[in-house]
Chain A
Amino acid sequence: MTSYICKDSFEGILCGIYDAWMGKRGHSQVRLEVEGAFEWSLFTEYLSADVSSEKARKVMDAVRQKICEDAFEKIYIASLSNDLDRADKIYRFLIYGFHYGKKVMDMLAVPAVFDLFQICRNVSCEAHKWMEFIRFSETGEGILFSKIGSKNAVLPLLASHFADRLPGETWMIFDENRKQAVIFIPCKGWILCEIDSVMEETIRGWQTDKKGYEELWKIFYKEIAIKERTNPVCQRNHLPLRYREYMTEFH
């Protein structure tokens, strides 16, 4: 058995796929692991996959041409997942993908395809939940600031949504689990950046004033519920508890 260890990024995983494929050791003889998230095992040769944009580009082009755009989007979303086997699952999906072409997108009955779709769904669902539940608060300088704690790396998916929605605002979404942030500046677009501990300290110290609208929102939130229909189970199904610590109305 040979394990290819890839860097934890979309590009890294693509390079791992390239190496594993071109190594020609047989699909059943290779595994892909993501750096820092696997267990060492006996009788396995470990090779690390170097990142090069050329290798990544080759895999990307192959997926787009031989399978379809949709499949490319799927593997990108899957790479954002926190599933420990994400790299391997993408690899297994591509084996079928390169064999069947576009048709693979309908073959949910195949375990490899099903697994990939499942982790994709997991990431997309979480991203959608954050789109719903992110709460911005305004800092003194007029910057809209929001803190989230996500399981999957959903920031890139959120960024494009909010860039379209709030094109005239300066805003920032900080993911405290991954120490990453998306920063958007009008007319310039968004960037994803790492936040170190010094910067994190600064961010946490930001004062968000204009309490006025936050209070109004809490009033609205409380009043809109109909007492006779109170239903906490339904509420919890739609709005799981783990999101609530980041939401203004539950503070």
Chain B
Amino acid sequence: MVIQQNLTISEKLKILTDAAKYDVACTSSGTDRRGKAGALGNAVEAGICHSFAADGRCISLLKILFTNQCIYDCKYCVNRCSNDMVRTAFTPEEVCRITIEFYRRNYIEGLFLSSGVLYSADYTMEQIYQAVYMLRTSYHFNGYIHIKAIPGASEELIERVGFLADRMSVNLELPTAEGLKRLAPGKTREKILKPMRQIQQGICHQAFLQGQEQKLLYGKSREGFAGGAALFQPGNRGRGFGPKAEDSLVKQGASEYKFLCPEKLRKGRKFVPAGQSTQMIVGATLENDYQMIKVTEALYHSYGLKRVFFSAFIPVNNDSALPALPGGPPLLREHRLYQADWLLRFYGFRADELLTEEHPNFNVFLDPKCDWAIRHLEKFPVEINRADYSMLLRVPGIGVKSARRIIAARRSCPLDFLALKKLGVVLKRACYFIMCSGKMQEGIRLNQDFITSSLIGEEQRRSWDISHRNAYRQLSLFDDMNLEVMPSRADIHAAAGGDF
């Protein structure tokens, strides 16, 4: 391993940005903090994206590695120790200066600091701690900070960092223990889950100390599902529905956990106020979508995570243990997983409703919500002027916002299709599943084959665009998407049943 000490700051930035770019979690949401005199910066609850890179991903935080030196040899990782490449490291001073100067110019919303493991987990975490401590105290930085917890680092160090950062994350990387063993020989599942549990208990304990056990855990005025995501019934504020984080775990964390670091470091600060997140690689091992989404659900429930991110596997190394992906990264699969993740967090779906052991993968032709609706036509059509919030949310084409607007607007007058359009409902999807004052739209039949073939045309165009990003399509009068043989009735039937 060649360690370069005397690189210029721009060379370092180039190397350490390049090494950090495969991390996907780059949101700046979850904390609302006003600016204060003498300090630089504030934080906005919803987060702010400051630019969009050529791959269309948002740039919100200065996403860099502290160092790209690493003692581990994870097969999927660009920084594994067996790769021959230039290795370097920032000093805490450099990280602070770049962050501050970028922030002043409104380039970024804050810092996302991750790192390869240099010498030992503790040494690396200590370096990261130095950098954030300096940033918060000497440079009076009041913006957003997201820090990766290094598995294996001491509990006290993780806690110290937690009091300075807004969000922390530990990457699960692969959904199953076997997958992890195969591709990341130096890591074990227990080692990864330990800091995750610690952070969760710390957050619960913090809430407990402040006497806001429930409020803080589920976010302001929107108690709900999955570790604080927004899911509440309008007009029934405070009482969410859908499964909640397991009470016993929360209580245990709240009362039994004890903070290790001294009082004066904790004073006036909150422990990981924006919650924690994690990420999983999609398509590096053989896990199916059902396993992925089950693990995701479990993480939301028992670890109270704010977000689970998915990253389509990009082969950066040649290794016999890794899959060859001739069609490029599995972007469509990643897209479907995110759609399902939203259904879990905001729409009150359970993983078992979306997929089963028998149908372990998402439908290529239909998004998970449409797919579910078509398999449950007995629940439709839904009467817009009477249905409750949780049922409205299950209609394809109606989202959280439009469902809330419907509930509010129908109090003053009955709604018709034109009104729904104004409320933001996507009628071209919703029209198959709803009625207004007892009437469905003209020409709609509540029939599996009819709905599937109508929906597929539109969705197919979009999924084609996702999986063939930079290809060009021959302009054609028919939406055949380069299919050589038209889909038969049996194919459409299979798509409806989720057999594709």
Contacts and interface: CB of A to CB of B under 8 A. Distances in A.
Interface string A212-241: 011111011101111111111111011100
Nearest to B329: A228
A241 to B, nearest CB: 12
Interface stretch (A31-39, A41-49, A136-144): A136-144
B52 A229 contact: no
Contact of A231 (B9, B36, B55, B63): B55
A214 to B, nearest CB: 8
Contact of B469 (A217, A230, A238): A230
Chain A contact-residue range equals 35 or more
A134 interface: yes
B187 interface: no
B469 A106 contact: no
A221 B48 contact: no
A133 interface: yes
Contact of B106 (A100, A135, A235): A135
Interface string B107-134: 1000000000000000000000000000
A144 B105 contact: yes
A132 B50 contact: yes
A109 interface: yes
B412 A106 contact: yes
A166 B54 contact: no
A247 interface: yes
B51 A239 contact: yes
A223 B409 CA distance: 47
Contacts of B469: 229-231
Given A215-B10, A224-B59, A228-B329, A164 B42 contact: yes
Interface in B53-67: 53-59, 62-63
Given A138-B105, A216-B13, A226-B314, A109 B62 contact: no
Contacts of A225: 21, 53-55, 57
Nearest to B98: A216
A114 interface: yes
Given A217-B107, A229-B469, A165 B21 contact: no
Majority secondary structure, A binding face? helix
Contacts of A237: 56
B37 A167 contact: yes
Given A109-B413, A168-B38, A238-B52, A226 B22 contact: yes
Contacts of A179: none
A68 interface: no
B422 A216 contact: no
Given A106-B408, A135-B107, A217-B102, A224 B9 contact: no
B18 A223 contact: yes
Given A166-B41, A225-B57, A231-B470, 18 more contacts: A108-B409, A108-B419, A109-B419, A135-B106, A144-B104, A166-B40, A167-B36, A213-B98, A215-B10, A220-B13, A220-B62, A221-B51, A223-B21, A224-B17, A225-B54, A229-B329, A229-B469, A234-B52
14 contacts: A106-B408, A109-B413, A138-B105, A164-B34, A167-B38, A216-B102, A223-B13, A224-B53, A226-B57, A226-B314, A228-B314, A231-B470, A232-B54, A248-B107
A-B interface, 3 closest residue pairs, ranked by CB to CB distance from nearest: A234-B56, A106-B408, A109-B419
